[in-house]
C-alpha cells in the first residue's frame, strides 16, 4: 500500500515539475514575443518620423547622399523656415497663420452648428427632427473627395475661389454630421428633467442652451473640437484645389509645391513639415485622455 | 448652409455626370479600368489587413507590462501627425537610391533596393503600407477602448472554462466585438474609397498614372485633362458600391446600440 502511495506522489511531483517547466518556457516565449513585437512596433512607427528629422537636419546641398545617420546635424533648415529664408518659403508665416485661422474657424463653427442642431432636435423635440438626422447620415455615403469637382465649380460661381472661407465652408459641412452624432449620443446621458426644471424657473431656450446644456456637454465639446481641428489640419484636397495663390494657400498646399520640382530644397521641406506637425501633436497629447473618452462615448462613428 | 454646400454640390455633380456617353467613354479608357482595379486593391487590402491587425494589436496593448503601457502613446503618434507631412516623408523615404529605405537595405543587407515608384505593384504597395501606418493606431485605440469595456468577469469565466489564447479570441472576444468590427470596417471602407491624399502624395500616381485610384483619377481628369464631367463620372461610378455599404452600415448601427 505504502509503496503505491509513494510512487503516486513521485509521479505527481514529476508531473507538476514538468508542468512548471512547460509554464516557464511558455512564459519566456511570450516575454520574448512581446519584446520582439514591441521593438517592431517602435521601428514601424518611428521610421517615417525619423526620416523627416534626418532629412531636415541635412546641410544644404548634401541631401542626395545615402546615409542612415545624420553626419552633421545642421539646424540651418529650421532657421531658414522660421526666418522665411528661402524663396519657397517666402510666405511661410502668412501660410501658417492661414492654417491656424482655418483650423480655428472650422472648430468653432462645427461646435456651434453641431450643438445648436443637437440641442434643437434632441432637447426641444422639433417635429421632423429625425429627417435632419437621417439627412446628416446620408452625407457619409458620398466621400468628400468625390464632391471636390462640383464644389470647385460652385465656389468659382460664388466667387470664393482663393478664399479661405470656401475651404472653411466645405470642411464645416463635412465635419458637422459627426459632431451632431456625438452630441446627440452624449446628450442622451443628460436627463431632460434638468432642462424642464430650468424652464419652470423661467429660463428661455437660449438660456437653457448657454447656461445648462453647454457646460454639461463640456467633455463632448473637447472631443469634437479636437476632432474638427485635426480634420482641418489633416485635410489636403480641398485646400489644394481651392487655394492657389501664394498668400492665400495653407501650409499643406505649400508643402505639396515642393514635390512639383526635382530641384526642391528637401531639407527645408521636411523642416516645414515638422513645424507644421508640432501643433496637432501637442494638442493631441494634451487632450489624449478626453479624446479616448470621446471615442467610446460617441460610439465609433468617426 | 447644408443646402448650399452639400446638397447643391451633390445635385450638381449628379447632373454633370448624367450623360450616358460619359460612361461609354470611361469604359473605353484603359486608365479607368486600371484605376478600378487599383481602388479595389487599395480598399480591400488597406482596410481589411489594417482592421485585422488593429484588432490583434489592441489585444497586445491589453497586456500589463510597463513597457507596453509606455509604448501606447508612441504608437499613437502616426494618428496625431498630420497626414501631409507623414505622406511626404513616405514619398521621400521611397524615392529611389537616396531614400532611407533603400539606404537601409544596402547598409544592412547589402542589396540595392528597388526603384519603388517605377513598378506599379511596388508603388501601390507603398501606398497601402503608408495608409495602414497612418490609420492603424486609430482603429487599434478604438478596439482597445472596446476591449476595456468588456467586463473582467467574462475573461475570468473563460479562464475557468479553460479557454485561453486563440480559443478565447475566437469564442469570447470576437463574438463580443464582432458587430463593432463590422461597423468600423464598413465605415472605413466608405472613407477609403474616397481617399485622395495617400495616393496623391505617396506615389503621386506614378508610374504614369498607373497607380491612380478613382478619387485621384477623377481629379486628374478634371484638372489636368480639363474634362470635369468625365472626372465626376469616374468617381460617381463608385456609387453603386457605396450605397449598399451605407445601407449595411445603417443596419449594423441599429443593432449596435445594444452592445457596448
Q: Chain B partners of A259 at a C-beta cutoff of 8 Å?
A: 88, 91, 201, 204
Q: What is the mean pLDDT of chain A?
A: 77
Are A150 and B10 inside 8 Å of each other by CB? yes
B39 versus B162: the higher-pLDDT residue is B39
**Lowest mean pLDDT, pick from A184-193, A283-292, B81-90, B124-133:** A283-292
| pLDDT for residue B257 is more than 50 | no
SS3 sequence of chain B: CHHHHHHHHHHHHHHHCCCHHHHHHHHHCHHHHHHHHHHHHHHHHHHHHHHHHHHHHHHHCCCCCHHHHHHHHHHCHHHHCCHHHHHHHHHHHCCCCCCHHHHHHHHHHCCCCCCHHHCHHHHHHHHHHHHHHHHHHHHHHHHHHHHHHCCHHHHHHHHHCCCCCHHHHHHHHHHHHHHHHHHHHHHHHHHHHCCCHHHHHHCCCCCCCCCCCHHHHHHHHHHHCCCHHHHHHHHHCCHHHHHHHHHHHHHHHHHHCCCC
Give the separation between CA A146 and CA A152, rounded to whole angstroms.
Answer: 11
Max Cα–Cα distance, chain B, nearest Å: 67
Interface list for B 99-118 with A (CB within 8 A): 100, 102-104, 106-107
Q: Do the Cβ atoms of B117 and B123 come closer than 8 Å?
A: yes
Q: Chain B partners of A266 at a C-beta cutoff of 8 Å?
A: 92
Instruction: Give the pLDDT confidence of A179-190 residue by residue, as tens digits.
Output: 887 787 777 777
**Lowest mean pLDDT, pick from A46-60, A93-107, B28-42, B70-84:** A46-60
The minimal CB distance from A38 to the residues B1, B67, B88 is found for B67
Q: What is the mean pLDDT of chain B?
A: 80
Share of residues in chain A with pLDDT > 90 (%): 3
Average pLDDT over residues A119-129: 72
The whole-number pLDDT of residue A3 equals 56
A261 in contact with B, Cβ within 8 Å: no
Name the pLDDT band for A104 (thresholds 50, 70, 90).
very high
The minimal CB distance from B2 to the residues A142, A173, A276 is found for A173
Asked whether residue B4 is assigned to any structural domain, the reply reads no
Domains of chain B: total = 1
From the number of C-beta atoms within 10 Å of its C-beta (0-12, 13-18, 19+), residue A26 rates as: exposed
| pLDDT for residue A108 is more than 90 | yes
A281 in contact with B, Cβ within 8 Å: yes
B158 in contact with A, Cβ within 8 Å: no
CATH of the domain at B121: 1.10.3720.10
The minimal CB distance from A154 to the residues B9, B80, B88 is found for B9
| pLDDT for residue A1 is more than 50 | no
Asked whether residue B11 is assigned to any structural domain, the reply reads no
Asked whether residue B12 is assigned to any structural domain, the reply reads no
Instruction: Give the pLDDT confidence of A32-45 residue by residue, as tens digits.
Output: 888 888 888 888 88
The whole-number pLDDT of residue A193 equals 81
CA distance B32 to chain A (A): 15
| pLDDT for residue A72 is more than 70 | no
CA distance B63 to chain A (A): 9
Winning range, highest mean pLDDT, from A212-226, B91-105, B128-142, B157-171: B128-142
Are A151 and B9 inside 8 Å of each other by CB? yes
Interface ipTM > 0.85: no
Instruction: Give the pLDDT confidence of B69-112 residue by residue, as tens digits.
Output: 888 888 888 888 888 888 888 888 887 766 777 777 777 777 77
CATH class assigned to A90-297: mainly alpha
The minimal CB distance from B194 to the residues A52, A63, A143 is found for A143
Asked whether residue B15 is assigned to any structural domain, the reply reads no
CA distance A162 to chain B (A): 16
Are B5 and A66 inside 8 Å of each other by CB? no
Question: From the centroid of its chain, how far is CA A175?
Answer: 12
**Lowest mean pLDDT, pick from A39-48, A226-235, B216-225:** B216-225
Are B84 and A65 inside 8 Å of each other by CB? no
The domain ranges of chain A are: 1-45, 90-297
Average pLDDT over residues A185-206: 81
From residue A205, how far is each of A61, A115, B258 by CA, in Å? 64, 13, 32
The whole-number pLDDT of residue B160 equals 80
**Lowest mean pLDDT, pick from A47-61, A283-297, B6-20, B113-127:** A283-297
**Lowest mean pLDDT, pick from A146-155, A257-266, B127-136:** A257-266
Asked whether residue B23 is assigned to any structural domain, the reply reads no
| pLDDT for residue B259 is more than 60 | no
The whole-number pLDDT of residue A294 equals 56
Average pLDDT over residues A123-138: 67
The residue range of the domain holding B197 is 32-256
| pLDDT for residue A298 is more than 70 | no
The whole-number pLDDT of residue A133 equals 65
Q: Chain A partners of B137 at a C-beta cutoff of 8 Å?
A: 45
Q: Chain A partners of B183 at a C-beta cutoff of 8 Å?
A: 299-300
Among A141, A138, A140, A161, residue whose Cα is nearest residue A151: A161
Name the pLDDT band for A13 (thresholds 50, 70, 90).
low
Average pLDDT over residues A49-64: 72
> How many CB atoms sit inside 10 A of residue B228's CB?
20
Q: Chain A partners of B190 at a C-beta cutoff of 8 Å?
A: 140-141, 143
B56 in contact with A, Cβ within 8 Å: no
The whole-number pLDDT of residue B5 equals 63
A55 in contact with B, Cβ within 8 Å: yes
Question: Which of the residues B17, B69, B92, B223 would you substitute to probe the A interface, choosing the one with the greatest number of A C-beta atoms within 10 Å?
Answer: B92
Asked whether residue B85 is assigned to any structural domain, the reply reads yes
With CA atoms as reference, the chain A residue closest to B10 would be: A147
Are A237 and B219 inside 8 Å of each other by CB? yes
The minimal CB distance from A277 to the residues B60, B81, B218 is found for B81
| pLDDT for residue A302 is more than 60 | no
A236 in contact with B, Cβ within 8 Å: yes
Amino acid at each position: 500500500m505504502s509503496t503505491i502511495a509513494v510512487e503516486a506522489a513521485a509521479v505527481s511531483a514529476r508531473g507538476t515539475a514538468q508542468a512548471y517547466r512547460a509554464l516557464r518556457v511558455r512564459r519566456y516565449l511570450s516575454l520574448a514575443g512581446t519584446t520582439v513585437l514591441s521593438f517592431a512596433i517602435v521601428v514601424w512607427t518611428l521610421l517615417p518620423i525619423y526620416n523627416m528629422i534626418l532629412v531636415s537636419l541635412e546641410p544644404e546641398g548634401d541631401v542626395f547622399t545615402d546615409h542612415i545617420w545624420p553626419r552633421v546635424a545642421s539646424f540651418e533648415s529650421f532657421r531658414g523656415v522660421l526666418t522665411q529664408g528661402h524663396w519657397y518659403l517666402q510666405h511661410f508665416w502668412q501660410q501658417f497663420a492661414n492654417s491656424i485661422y482655418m483650423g480655428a474657424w472650422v472648430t468653432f463653427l462645427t461646435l456651434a452648428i453641431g450643438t445648436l442642431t443637437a440641442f434643437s432636435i434632441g432637447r426641444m423635440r422639433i417635429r421632423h427632427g429625425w429627417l435632419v438626422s437621417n439627412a446628416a447620415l446620408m452625407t457619409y455615403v458620398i466621400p468628400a473627395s468625390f464632391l471636390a469637382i462640383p464644389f470647385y465649380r460652385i465656389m468659382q460661381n460664388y466667387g470664393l475661389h482663393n478664399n479661405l472661407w470656401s475651404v472653411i465652408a466645405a470642411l464645416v459641412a463635412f465635419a458637422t454630421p459627426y459632431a451632431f452624432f456625438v452630441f446627440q449620443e452624449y446628450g442622451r446621458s443628460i436627463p431632460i428633467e434638468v432642462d424642464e426644471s430650468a424652464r419652470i424657473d423661467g429660463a428661455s431656450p437660449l438660456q437653457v442652451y448657454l447656461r445648462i446644456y453647454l457646460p454639461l456637454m463640456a467633455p463632448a465639446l473637447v472631443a469634437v473640437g479636437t476632432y474638427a481641428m485635426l480634420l482641418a489640419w489633416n485635410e489636403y484636397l480641398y485646400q489644394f484645389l481651392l487655394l492657389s495663390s501664394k498668400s492665400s494657400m495653407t501650409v499643406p498646399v505649400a508643402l505639396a509645391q515642393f514635390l512639383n520640382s526635382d530641384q526642391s530644397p528637401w531639407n527645408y521641406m521636411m523642416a516645414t513639415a515638422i513645424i507644421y506637425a508640432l501643433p496637432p501633436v501637442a494638442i493631441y497629447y494634451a487632450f489624449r485622455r478626453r479624446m479616448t473618452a470621446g471615442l467610446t462615448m460617441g460610439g465609433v462613428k468617426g | 448652409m447644408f443646402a448650399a454646400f452639400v446638397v447643391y454640390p451633390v445635385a450638381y455633380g449628379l447632373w454633370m455626370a448624367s450623360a450616358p456617353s460619359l460612361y461609354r467613354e470611361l469604359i473605353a479608357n484603359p486608365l479607368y479600368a486600371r484605376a478600378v482595379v487599383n481602388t479595389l486593391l487599395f480598399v480591400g487590402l488597406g482596410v481589411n489587413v489594417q482592421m485585422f491587425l488593429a484588432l490583434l494589436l489592441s489585444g497586445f496593448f491589453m497586456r500589463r507590462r510597463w513597457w507596453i503601457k509606455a509604448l501606447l502613446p508612441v504608437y499613437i503618434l502616426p494618428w496625431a501627425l498630420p497626414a501631409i507631412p507623414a505622406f511626404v516623408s513616405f514619398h521621400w523615404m521611397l524615392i529611389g537610391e537616396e531614400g532611407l529605405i533603400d539606404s537601409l537595405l544596402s547598409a544592412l543587407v547589402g542589396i540595392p533596393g528597388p526603384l519603388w515608384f517605377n513598378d506599379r505593384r511596388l508603388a501601390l504597395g507603398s501606398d497601402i503600407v503608408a495608409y495602414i501606418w497612418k490609420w492603424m493606431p486609430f482603429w487599434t485605440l478604438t478596439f482597445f477602448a472596446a476591449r476595456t469595456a468588456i467586463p473582467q468577469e467574462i475573461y475570468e469565466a473563460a479562464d475557468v472554462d479553460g479557454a485561453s489564447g486563440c480559443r478565447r479570441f475566437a469564442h469570447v472576444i470576437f463574438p463580443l466585438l464582432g458587430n463593432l468590427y463590422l461597423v468600423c470596417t464598413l465605415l472605413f471602407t466608405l472613407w477609403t474609397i474616397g481617399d485622395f491624399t495617400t495616393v496623391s502624395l505617396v506615389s503621386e500616381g506614378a508610374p504614369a498614372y498607373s497607380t491612380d485610384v478613382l478619387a485621384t483619377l477623377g481629379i486628374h481628369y478634371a484638372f489636368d485633362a480639363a474634362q470635369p464631367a468625365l472626372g465626376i463620372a469616374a468617381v460617381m461610378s463608385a456609387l453603386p458600391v457605396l450605397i449598399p455599404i451605407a445601407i449595411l452600415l445603417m443596419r449594423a448601427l441599429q443593432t449596435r446600440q445594444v452592445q457596448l
